[in-house]
């Protein structure tokens, strides 16, 4: 058996170390979590050899993503309210409220107080027109105003009428018309009518009972006679 010279062993060890130093380096990028690679050199006496063990655990990169969401507040858009050009509002009955009793065949003037709630000014071109119901001699149209009625102003509107010749209850409905022939009315819809409603009756003339004292021609004793006049009812057609 030949013994190997210590010089040869040292030479082999030197070569192994040189080879180990020339191994390529591992470049890591990013964020890693792990244990650095470990190299182990093994030398067995009596049989000089070099064992190189390289341990490189799996690299676990850690990536942290940050997302920032900024809430966007809702956008509110103010839509302007469109006011119709022609719109009216009933305020009150100036005269002859509903169910007023009228004599048959009596002429009268009905008047309403009306407010201009539209966006256009009323002029003499605006009319109040008969719409439906009992006409009571109402004309087809009557001038609403002789001047001008701006928006939000009020005006008294009148129509000449005549009570019917029979006893009963009568109602006539009216609307308004603009110069360009747009018919409109009152109420939330802008198309409701204003009206006049009356009750008719005949003329009753009541003569009260009147006591009358008359001297008797007989000198004695003096007597008085009492005459009572009956109730008289006159009916005019």
41 falls in which pLDDT band (50, 70, 90)?
very low
In angstroms, the CA 46 to CA 49 distance is 9
- pTM confidence score: 0.56
Contact 118, 151 (CB under 8 A): yes
**Taking 60 as the threshold, does the pLDDT of residue 43 lie above it?**
no
**CB 102 within 8 Å of CB 197:** no
Radius of gyration of the chain from its Cα atoms, rounded to whole angstroms: 59
Residues found in the chain: 237
Query: What pLDDT is stored for residue 31 in this prediction?
Result: 46
List strand residue ranges (DSSP E) for the chain, in order: 32-33, 38-42, 51-55, 60-61, 88-93, 100-103, 107-116, 127-133, 141-143, 154-162, 168-177, 183-184, 194-201, 213-215, 224-226
How do residues 148-158 score in pLDDT, each as one tens digit? Answer: 999 999 999 99
Mean pLDDT, the chain, rounded, equals 77
C-alpha neighbours within 13 Å on the C-beta side of residue 127: 13
pLDDT, tens digit, for every residue of 105-146?
A: 999 999 999 999 999 999 999 999 999 999 999 999 999 999
Contact 183, 129 (CB under 8 A): yes
194 contacts 163 by C-beta, under 8 angstroms: no
pLDDT at res. 155: 97
109 strand-pairing partners: 160
Is the bond preceding 221 in cis, omega lying within 30 degrees of 0?
yes
Count CB neighbours of 212 within 10 A.
10
User: How far is the C-alpha of 52 from the C-alpha of 137, rounded, in Å?
Assistant: 127
Q: Count CB neighbours of 69 within 10 A.
A: 5
Residues 137 and 172 sit within 8 Å (Cβ to Cβ): no
């Amino acid at each position: 058996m030949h013994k190997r010279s210590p010089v040869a062993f040292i030479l082999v060890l030197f070569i192994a170390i040189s080879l180990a130093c020339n191994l390529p380096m591992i470049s890591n990028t990013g964020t890693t979590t792990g244990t650095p690679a470990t190299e182990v050199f093994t030398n067995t006496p009596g049989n000089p050899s070099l064992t190189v063990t390289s341990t490189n655990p799996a690299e676990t990169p850690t990536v942290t993503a940050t997302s920032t969401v900024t809430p966007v507040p809702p956008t509110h858009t103010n839509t302007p309210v469109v006011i119709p050009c022609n719109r009216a509002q009933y305020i009150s009955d100036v005269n002859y409220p509903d169910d007023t009793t009228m004599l048959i065949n009596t002429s009268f003037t009905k008047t309403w107080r009306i407010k201009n709630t539209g966006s256009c000014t009323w002029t003499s071109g605006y009319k109040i027109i008969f719409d439906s119901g009992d006409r009571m001699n109402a004309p087809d149209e009557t001038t609403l105003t002789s001047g001008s009625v701006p928006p939000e102003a009020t005006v008294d509107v009148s129509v000449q009428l005549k009570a019917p010749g029979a006893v009963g209850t009568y109602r006539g409905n009216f609307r308004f018309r603009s110069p360009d022939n747009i018919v409109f009315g009152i109420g939330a819809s802008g198309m409701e009518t204003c009206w006049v409603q009356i009750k008719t009756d005949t003329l009753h003339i009541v003569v009260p009972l009147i006591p009358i004292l008359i001297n008797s021609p007989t000198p004695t004793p003096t007597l008085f006679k009492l005459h009572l006049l009956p109730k008289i009812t006159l009916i005019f057609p």
